A and B are shown apart, each in its own frame.
Chain A
Amino acid sequence: MQLTVWTYEGPPHIGAMRIATAMKGLHYVLHAPQGDTYADLLFTMIERRDARPPVTYTTFQAQDLGRDTAEIFKNAVAQAYERFQPQAMIVGASCTAELIQDDPGGLAKALDLPIPVIPLELPAYQKKENWGASETFYRLVRALAGQPADRAPREGRRPLCNILGPTALGFRHRDDVIEIRKLLAALGIDVNVVAPMGATPSDLVRLGAADFNVVLYPEIARSAAQYLQKTFAQPFTEIVPIGVKATDRFIDAVAELAGVDPASVLAGAPSRLPWYSRSVDSTYLTGKRVFIFGDATHALAAARIAATELGFKVVGLGTYTREFAREIRAEAAEHGIEALITDDYLDVEAAIQAAAPELVLGTQMERHIAKRLAVPCAVISAPIHVQDFPARHSPQMGFEGANVLFDTWVHPLMMGLEEHLLGMFREDPEFHDGAAPSHLTRHGAAASSQPEPHPEVPGGKAEEVILVAPWAPEAEKELKKIPFFVRGKARANTERFARERQLPLITLETLYDAKAHFGR
């Protein structure tokens, strides 16, 4: 049993729903208890879709358990076929139905429907949402992509690729696809099929006609792409084009696979991020301490952008995607830190508290932590809520994506002049210590009324309980004069300094000795 305050991913059948809802002409019959239809709201409310997801639930109840739940499932499949006439169906169980073991695959097969019916084995007590999406997409591609077709010779036609990975309920998938389509068009590359988003089962049959695959979200589409590589000899891209440099490398990689010249697309200043970041207004961003957490794809991209395109200092990096732990560890090593691989919200909270960052780039869940610690925060990855399915065009990928990222990440930070003046004059009644940045309009906001988060020992593990020297009153008072967004770090550094030297009391001198020792 795991104590879970917030969960980073839903159960695997939510992943399967994301595939089914992204596609057209595919229906999903899910053996699930009454109440599991809450998942419809993810699509109709959070993503604001205008149609019900193509999912039929058996919604069995306690009184049905004494009867034949298998019969209920068979009826649901037959009725769903009758009513919706899909091109193909997927069938599976949710966590509770998994316990009663009705074998949805076998039952559906016995109905002998005149369409492909693909059974899903999604172990709900071991695996999670992204795995469920990846597995479902892989099963669909395997079942439907058919035999390797003879591709038309490359001479005399434009190169052709598939875009794999975008789903329903994906973080900015809608706009990322628009950006990538634009880039491919500029390179003179045609798109064969985008899947699963917008594709039908019969589109999946045509996947083999493309020359190569563009994998936008490895968490979702890497295993399908690997299958296509093996079966149809289609190479696929490994670079996710989030950030200016990553987009450049992505364009190079795609151009090479397609045999076209990338120079014209890379020429000029395709993104504003480099100039914005070089302009002197951004100088104060240098060395801002940032903590990054999310799915592996977005966390990796964010770490590189933060360090090399915005000049932040990455003080924490982690992911809940265990499948990509190796890549995250390697990236963390580049920043001289240890990666945090966990799906435990409380571990993330402890790590953020210990790292005392000035900015958190994370998921909806990190917004809860950031609120508690009164640290600015921006969202870079799912899980997300309704405000991160915006009406406006807001990709993360490509050159426009980089523009969006610059604005989004800098926005929660206090602006330069205000930060300077706050450091100089501390007793202003309006622009006072700990009040929210004035451009965020929460005047006299709660931040000041909340107790200052005291860096605690993470996890409360016994061996880490260390006695901290007491603070002399004048040192404590001086600490308050340090701007609030670096105060946590200053406190931790000073206490560490005192501990290492076994000082009995933290005085004014200790504070400034520690400052000289550690630098900022």
Chain B
Amino acid sequence: MNAHAPLPAAAGCGIEIRQEQGQRAVFCGLTGIVWLHRKIQDAFFLVVGSRTCAHLIQSAAGVMIFAEPRFATAIIDERDLAGLADMNEELDRVVGRLIERRPDIKLLFLVGSCPSEVIKLDLSRASLRLSKALSPDVRVLSYSGSGIETTFTQGEDACLASLVPDLPVEPADSASSLLVVGALADLVEDQFARLFAELGIPARFLPARRSGEMPALGRNTRYLLAQPFLTDTARALEERGARRISAPFPLGAEGTTRWLHAAAESFGVDPLLFAAVVAPGQKRARRALAPYQEQLSGRRVFFFPDSQLEVPLARFLSREMEAELIEVGTPYLHRAHLADELELLPRGTVVNEGQCLDDQMDRCREARPDLTVCGLGLANPLEAEGLSTKWSIELLFTPIQGYDQAGDLAELFCRPLVRRTRLEV
């Protein structure tokens, strides 16, 4: 999934795409569980992996005190590796104990990890077997969140892709419908649902908030990606006959308008109606963005790779906030899904796919950006070197899409700058 296939650079749009290999300071896909388990309220995520995997998730999520967490790890031990225990029997036993304890679970994800992938434990077969045994109360699906195959948000991609084959079938003669793909904050989802309703577009969302309410899918489904990291999910949707509506991502006032417009065009919405529906949101977003624009205009920004949100965010910062882009790092660049975004980036922007951590840190130190967007492993060390940082993971945990979050999104980037001027100690 992270292969750096030598694709032709986005010719003509003047973007310089570089590729880099070396040490990568990124999360693995297991981290997606941290927000997915809140989004799908009756799902449980069982990682099949090592103590390292368990430790990762609890280090990320364990600061919240859970009365009933909806994730756990089946830790592989030496008996499993030595073949002394049948791994599939062991897995069945662990799942049995889990379901007994949590009868409220309706959907169980078996999540693959580096160890389970390296020893080739077949979780997809295990999920079929367990699904049969536990039906109809519990459905069991599987996907890989391993670090060797997935980077951070690609865990969500893998999870949603595993849902797709299971989605209900839409009748062949049903009218065209819109599927919005990617986990969004509930608030954002509700706003978009209202906008699509006003535009007269029948829209549904993947993932749904409950496992029993997942949307149906068919040849007349058109889907719109709400997140830029959904490569495999898109492929799975195409395989079931759905067609993608190409659009930039709904970040900032412009991104949101273009995103909605792509859907409206595809569904033949009257341009006058479209203008009328989006006008209030656009106006509010512009008003909300104005004060932040003053603070961000001309600021030099450096993105370390993290979530694949970097390119759309850089586009938002440069076009709507007038920030200057030094380097836009991304763990993986899907040329087709990001094509509309790349076109909007200023000419000459350096987009860096992949990572060689120490070299990239050297470039960052050399450039002394006004704001560095990076992961939490780098943020405090860079702050201590006198660089302002915006920790990137927050962009996944905060409602940032849509008109009414545009101001909040800009504020996330301003906050570290404001803080720096405010503190006298």
Residues of A within 8 A of B (CB): 1-7, 9-11, 13-14, 33-38, 40-42, 44-46, 48-52, 56-65, 76, 79, 83, 94-96, 99-100, 123-126, 128, 346, 364, 367-368, 371-372, 383, 385-386, 450, 460
Residue pair B2, A63 in contact (C-beta under 8 Å): yes
The CA of A345 and the CA of B282, in the complex, are separated in Å by 51
- A65, B148: Cβ atoms closer than 8 Å: yes
Contact of B75 among A7, A35, A57 (CB under 8 A): A7
Ordered by A's residue number, 28 sampled pairs between the chains whose C-beta atoms are within 8 Å are A1-B93, A2-B74, A3-B98, A7-B51, A7-B55, A34-B26, A34-B28, A35-B26, A35-B30, A35-B146, A37-B26, A38-B28, A41-B375, A41-B376, A42-B59, A50-B381, A52-B378, A57-B23, A60-B148, A61-B2, A62-B117, A64-B148, A96-B50, A96-B52, A126-B77, A367-B65, A383-B58, A460-B100
11 more contacts with CB within 8 A, not counting A4-B74, A41-B376, are A1-B74, A1-B80, A2-B75, A3-B97, A10-B55, A33-B146, A34-B26, A41-B377, A51-B381, A95-B115, A128-B51
A14, A44, A99: the one contacting B377 at CB < 8 Å is A44
CB nearest neighbor in B for A57: B23
Within the complex, the shortest CB–CB distance from A466 to chain B, in Å, comes to: 19
Is residue B384 contacting chain A, with contact meaning CB distance below 8 A? yes
For the complex formed, measure the closest distance between the CB of B333 and the CB atoms of chain A, giving whole angstroms.
16
The residue among A45, A61, A100, A368 with the most chain B CB atoms within 10 A of its own CB is: A61
Do A96 and B87 have beta carbons less than 8 Å apart? no
* Interface: B104 (CB within 8 A): no
Q: Which of B25, B52, B91 contacts A11 (CB 8 A)?
A: B52
Of all chain B residues, which has the CB nearest A377? Answer: B65
Residues in B whose Cβ lies below 8 Å from that of A124: 50-52
How far, in whole Å, are A59 and B305 apart by their CA atoms in the complex? 14
Q: How far is the CB of B366 from chain A (nearest CB, A)?
A: 15
User: Please, what's the 1-or-0 string for B28-53, where 1 marks a CB less than 8 Å from any CB in chain A?
Assistant: 11110000000000000000101110
Query: Could you tell me if B91 and A1 are in contact, using CB atoms closer than 8 angstroms?
Result: yes
Contacts of A367 in B (CB 8 A): 65
Does B119 belong to the interface (CB within 8 Å)?
A: yes
Given contacts A7-B51, A33-B148, contact A46 B377 (CB under 8 A): no
- Do A371 and B52 touch across chains, with their CB atoms under 8 A apart? no
Contact B68 A372 (CB under 8 A): yes
Q: Mark B98-111 against chain A: 1 for CB-CB distance below 8 A, else 0.
A: 10110000000000
| Inter-subunit contact B147/A36 (CB<8 Å) | yes
Contact indicator B28/A35 (Cβ below 8 Å): yes
Task: Chain B residues near A59: list those with CB within 8 A.
Answer: 23-25, 147
Interface membership of B11, Cβ < 8 A: no
Chain A CB within 8 A of B418 CB: no
Give chain B nearest CB distance to A369 CB in angstroms.
9
Find the A residue at minimum CB distance from B145. A35
B62 contacts the other chain (CB 8 A): yes
Report how far A490 CA is from B98 CA in the complex, Å. 30
Q: What A residues does B81 contact at CB under 8 A?
A: 99, 125
Closest partner residue, chain B, to A373 (CB atom): B67
Residue among A6, A63, A364 facing the most chain B CB atoms (10 A cut-off): A6
What is the CA–CA distance of A64 and B151 in the complex, to the nearest angstrom?
15
Bound-complex Cα distance A289 to B341 (A) = 62
A48 CA / B376 CA spacing, docked (Å): 10
Find out whether the CB atom of A45 lies under 8 angstroms from the CB atom of B380. yes
Asked if A62 and B69 make an inter-chain contact with CB atoms under 8 angstroms apart, the answer reads no
Q: Separation in Å of the B383 CB from the closest CB of chain A?
A: 8
- By beta carbon, the residue of chain B nearest A9 is B51
With the chains together, A99 CA to B27 CA distance in Å? 21
CB pair B54–A1 under 8 Å, yes or no, is no
0/1 string, B62-96, CB within 8 A of A gives 1: 11011111001111111011000101001101100
Q: Which of B23, B30, B59 contacts A76 (CB 8 A)?
A: B23
Set of chain B residues within 8 Å of A57, measured between Cβ atoms: 23
Q: Is the CB of B62 within 8 A of A6?
A: yes
Q: Least Cβ distance of A296 to chain B in Å?
A: 19
Is B133 interfacial (CB-CB < 8 Å)?
A: no
Residues of the B chain whose Cβ atoms lie less than 8 Å from the Cβ of A38: 27-28, 31, 56, 59-60, 377
